[in-house]
Amino acid sequence: MTLSFRIAALASVIALATVVAVPISADEPKPDAPKPVAAPAPVEGKPIDLVLCLDVSGSMNGLIDSAKLRLWDIVNELARLKPTPQLRVALYSYGATNYPADKGWVKKDLDLTEDLDDVYKVLNAYRIGGGTELVARVSETSLKEQKWSADKGALKLIFVCGNEGVDQDKQVTLDSVAELAKKDGVIINTIYCGTGTDNIAPGWAKFAEKCGGKYMNIDMNKAAKQVVVKTEYDDQIIKLGDELNKTYVAYGKLGKKGAENQVAQDKNAATAAPGAAIGRAESKAGALYRNSTWDLVDKMKEKDFDITKIKEEDLPDELKKLKPEERLAYLKKKTEERAEIQKKIAELSVKRQKKIDEELAKTPKTDAEKALDEALKTIVRDQAKGKGFEVAPEKK
């Protein structure tokens, strides 16, 4: 099922800090080689915890395909928020017949994480299978199980997506879920994947209202007819996204696995559709794509980063070959290379989006024809403003 309309990301260029002097012996001449530099200062932002609850019953192929196609476009929209948020995403699926009945046919697939590659990996593993869809149960489960941010300024969101009656749960009431959500400061939004004119849609809208959230309808049959806009910039952006991988410096026990997963999710995006691959490349060039658990270039953005505290056995071969005082300079060079590629992707993305906007302006869409990414982006943008975020304007 093909869905279109996307918003290009604005990539952020990583700031570099000042030069740090290297102590030398009084008997030795000063070296001519460049001195090591300090790590870039960390960027602080308000937390956004985003939990997606996706119906994986037999009729929801369109929703899952949309999530695979458009996750990166959603991330790119969030990257426009200022100050740049600390984004974490969690995934729940519900409604599959092979899920435990005593848990309401609900499954936690991923706890809140900054690792967007892991999120995409889980999405690509989803398979649909008919069952009982309990909206109240999956909402309550995610509220109780997740370790939500304790930051008073955090934006905590749940999106529940499905196409069956919202009130099928005989054990957990929608009112009790709404009360719990408000108590915990979590907003529950609903996306009904149906016509919007049947007798099911009003229940989804009412539940969102009780939870202080928003409701949106997606008619996936109409959305499937949308036109995919191709531009001359597409292949260039995808190629640059691949080039970004060469700027990652894997370290520690998670290094090899993280680097392999990065490449695997590049392939998953390319398989899903050209649009998904482009959106992923743009996300990798943005501020929300962070891999500090396995990449030293991202790790060095953290406060009090000290390359000398990384164990020798955890260093990659390219750093082991260097003297200790040369290692930070090596990471700085990789940072500069990454920033340059990110800049090129951002510039091409702006040109690409202009072409897309011109084409889509010829055939305006109704609310029902909007895709999953449009629904999520519209709601999150509005709710983020309520938490003090600003939305950076798109470059033209």
DSSP secondary structure letters along 258-288:
HHHHHHHHHHHHHHH-HHHHHHHHHHHTSTT
pLDDT of amino acid 42? 44
Does 216 share its domain with 126?
yes
User: Whose structure tokens read 């082991």?
Assistant: 320
Does 95 share its domain with 192?
yes
Provide DSSP, 136-193.
Answer: HHHHHHHHHHS-----TT-EEEEEEEESS-TT--SSS-HHHHHHHHHHHTEEEEEEE-
Convert 367-396 to b/e letters by CB count within 10 Å (16 or more is b).
Answer: ebbbbbbbbbbebbeebbeebebeeeeeee
Residue 256 lies in a domain: yes
Does 107 share its domain with 185?
yes
Residue 170, domain CATH: 3.40.50.410
Count of structural domains, the chain: 2
Residue 15 lies in a domain: no
Residue 253 lies in a domain: yes
Structure tokens at 111: 């706890």
> What span, in angstroms and rounded, lies between the C-alpha atoms of 19 and 73?
37
| pLDDT per residue as tens, the chain (396 positions) | 333 333 333 333 223 233 233 333 334 444 444 343 343 444 468 999 999 999 998 878 888 888 887 889 889 989 989 999 999 999 999 999 999 999 999 999 999 999 999 999 999 999 888 789 999 999 999 999 999 999 999 999 999 999 999 999 999 999 999 999 999 999 999 999 887 788 999 999 999 999 999 999 887 655 544 556 899 999 999 999 999 999 999 999 999 999 999 999 999 999 987 789 999 999 999 999 999 999 999 999 998 999 999 999 999 999 999 998 899 999 999 999 999 999 999 999 999 999 988 887 887 665 555 567 777 888 988 999 999 999 877 655
Does 190 share its domain with 254?
no
Count the alpha carbons within 13 Å of 88 in the hemisphere toward its beta carbon: 16
Residue 33 lies in a domain: no
Does 369 share its domain with 356?
no
Does 206 share its domain with 250?
no
Does 126 share its domain with 242?
no
Q: H/E element holding 108?
A: strand 106-113
Does 193 share its domain with 56?
yes
pLDDT of amino acid 24? 34
Does 195 share its domain with 272?
no
∠ CA 276-90-68, nearest 5°, is 20
User: Whose structure tokens read 């929608």?
Assistant: 174
> What span, in angstroms and rounded, lies between the C-alpha atoms of 184 and 210?
14
Residue 326 lies in a domain: yes
For residue 354, the one-letter residue type is: K
Does 242 share its domain with 387?
no
Strand partners, 190: 160, 215
Residue 32 lies in a domain: no
> What span, in angstroms and rounded, lies between the C-alpha atoms of 34 and 298?
22
Would you give the end-to-end CA distance of the chain in angstroms? 30
User: What range defines the domain where residue 314 resides?
Assistant: 234-360
CA 357 to chain CA centroid, nearest Å: 23
Under DSSP, is residue 37 helix (H, G, I), strand (E, B) or coil?
strand
Does 268 share its domain with 221?
no
Residue 110 lies in a domain: yes
Does 198 share its domain with 309?
no
